[in-house]
Structures are given as structure tokens and as C-alpha cells.
Amino acid sequence: MEALLGRSVAAWCHGATGVAGVVRLSGGASQETWSFDIVHPDGNIGAILRRAPLGYGAAPGRAAGLDAEARLMQLAYDAGVPSPRVLHVLQPQDELGTGFVMARVDGETIARKILRDDKFASARPKLARQLGTVAACIHGLPLSELPKLRRMTAAKEIAELQQDYRSFDWPRPVFELALRWLADHDPGPSDEVTLVHGDFRHGNLIIGPDGVRAVLDWELAHTGDPMEDLGWVCVNSWRFGEIDKPVGGFGTREELFAGYEAAGRRVDAKRVTFWEVMGTLRWGVMCCGMMQRFRLSPDHSMERAMIGRRASETEIDLLRLLAPRGT
């Protein structure tokens, strides 16, 4: 890998003399992530390679594809959204497969550290409002400049979730309740169609003591209802135990909405609630999928089993949303 990266970098980074500190990072269920330094006379440049595993074909299902992801990240960076700068999109002559190289951004992505470590104490109170501003900027990117992305609606999302859930042949009454509720409360097509990040949450945010530094992992980006991103970041699974702070375990919906509206965009709170229910069910179905892969795959990954058992947590979350105590 070091030799391949060194040869690639020499071809597109003027003055580079090689690479150093090449290491594969953990995390990322579908893509490989490598960290390295570009050795340069003017000072080393921290970089990240994000690529599809060798032998990986076209982007499956929801994924936009790495070329589209690179294009979106560069558009976001150019528009002032906190996003890593894309340095190079891999070409066949790089012999590294499909992917791209981006500038490394210092900071933390592990939610438990962000929510508990003293170094982030000054950042936590302002993160929810910052995320509202960042989401507004993402939703403001011109549709005419976006790569080809799939268009999603609430009805399509419900249909896909139902199909995935039924395919497991693993009946869950709470999921049935949620599917029925979503169908009954479908708000219809959004008055406004924008870019939707699709996975706007802990784990895909780089946080520093000063707040949000970068938004990562744009592979689920699509066009659709902008309230989807606001609902997804409020899903209880991303609060990591801080359930009284709906936005990532560090803030309130009101703070999130205030940041969004201060950036010139409008919040539809009812649609946000709908997408929070949708997102909770979606994560539950995804957990079931992980357990299914653990059971059927020859690679019995303990990580998949651990994620799979969290489906029961989403059932509790759905009941709290749809049938709260006292109603």
C-alpha cells in the first residue's frame, strides 16, 4: 500500500517525495479508510484514503458511490460547509481501485468521548445549534451542481423498509406498529427538494474543542425532504445514553432548529418528528440486517452480532415515540 500510494501521490501532488505513516483505520462497514502523510519539502500533508475494498463492484442499494461522494464533499468544501478537502479522485493508473484522497482533519468522531471528555466541555453546549447551521448549508447546495443521485420520498422509504423487514422473516410487532403509523402519517412529497446528507449523526462528524470541524461519509446522500436529516440526528440511538438531549446527546431540538432557521431556512417540526420515527425504524431494520448477516455469513463478525442485538433498543425507542406512557 505504501508503494502504491507513493507512486500515486508523486503523479498528482507537485513536489511530493513520498508517503509515510501509512496505517489502516478501524471503522467503516463498507469502505476502507487509510491514514498517511504526504512527504513534501514545504511540510508534510495529512491525508486520508477512502476506497472500496478490492473486488467491490458498483455501489449497492442506497450508496451514491465514491465518485459521487467525492464530488459532494468538494462542493460542500467550496461552499464553506465543514468538509474535508478532496485532494485526488483515484484513476485506473493509480492501481488503488475506486475511491479518493482527502485532507486529514484533526478531531474526534467517537461519541462517548465527545459527550464525556473534559476537552469537549466548552463545545457541547453549542453543537446542536452548529449542526443546524451546517445542515442548512448542506440543504442549500444547488441541485444543478450535484452529481446524479437517487430521489427519495417518504413513501419510497416506507416501501423499502417494509421490503427489507419482511425479507428477514423475523416478526416484530413494534416494527409492524411503526410501519402502520408511518403509512398513516405520511406527510406526502416535500414542498422543497434538496440535497440530503442521509447519515447526519455521531460517527460521521469530526468534533474539536471549538465544535464541528467536518462532516464525513456522504455515501447515503440523495435528494429529498431536507427534514430527513434533522429527524435522523435526533434518533435516540445517536444520544448514547443522554436521552434527555435529543440532538446527539448534547442539545435540544429547539437549538438545532434555531441554527437552521438563523441560516435562512425553514423548519417543519411535524415532518421532523415523522422522519425521527422513520429513522428509528430504519436503524432497527439495519440492526436486524446485521444479525441476519452474522447468522448466515461464513464470517461470524462479533461486531455484527453486537449491532444486531440493538434492534430491541429501537423497539423501546419506537414505543416511546408512538405510545408514550400516560397516553
Q: Are 198 and 62 in contact (CB under 8 A)?
A: yes
Number of domains, the chain: 2
- DSSP of 295-317: HHSSS--HHHHHHHTTHHHHHHH
Domain assignment present for 175: yes
Spatial CB neighbours of 64, under 8 Å, sequence gap ≥ 6: 72, 147, 149, 150, 218, 219, 220, 221, 222
Look at residue 36 and give its three-state secondary structure: strand
Q: What is the pLDDT of residues 185-215, one digit of tens each?
A: 999 999 999 999 999 999 999 999 999 999 9
User: What is the per-residue pLDDT for 274?
Assistant: 98
Measured between alpha carbons, how far is 276 from 67 in angstroms, rounded to an integer?
29
168 and 300 belong to one structural domain: yes
My answer on whether 97 and 196 are in the same domain is no
Please tell me the predicted confidence (pLDDT) of residue 29: 55
Spans of the chain, pLDDT less than 70: 27-30, 54-61, 299
> Is 99 exposed, middle or buried, given 0-12, 13-18 or 19+ CB atoms closer than 10 A?
buried
Distance CA 137, CA 264 (A): 9
State which residues form the domain around 314: 111-322
- The reply to whether 206 and 286 lie within a common domain is yes
CATH value at residue 161: 3.90.1200.10
Please give the model's pTM, rounded to 2 decimal places.
0.93
Q: Does 177 share its domain with 233?
A: yes
* Neighbouring-strand partners of residue 86: 102
Predicted local distance difference test score (pLDDT) of residue 231: 98
Contact 114, 120 (CB under 8 A): yes
> What phi, psi does 23 have (nearest 5°)?
-150, 140
150 and 18 belong to one structural domain: no
277 and 185 in a common domain: yes
Same domain? For 42 and 88 the reply is yes
pLDDT per residue as tens digits for the range 99-145: 999 999 999 999 999 999 999 999 999 999 999 999 999 999 999 99
**Are residues 10 and 84 both part of a single domain?**
yes
pLDDT at 53: 79
- Write down the mean pLDDT value for the chain: 93
- Spatial contact of 114 and 176, defined as CB atoms under 8 Å apart: no
Length of the chain: 327
Domain boundary among 77, 103, 129: 103
In a domain, 287, yes or no: yes
Q: State whether 189 and 271 are in the same domain.
A: yes
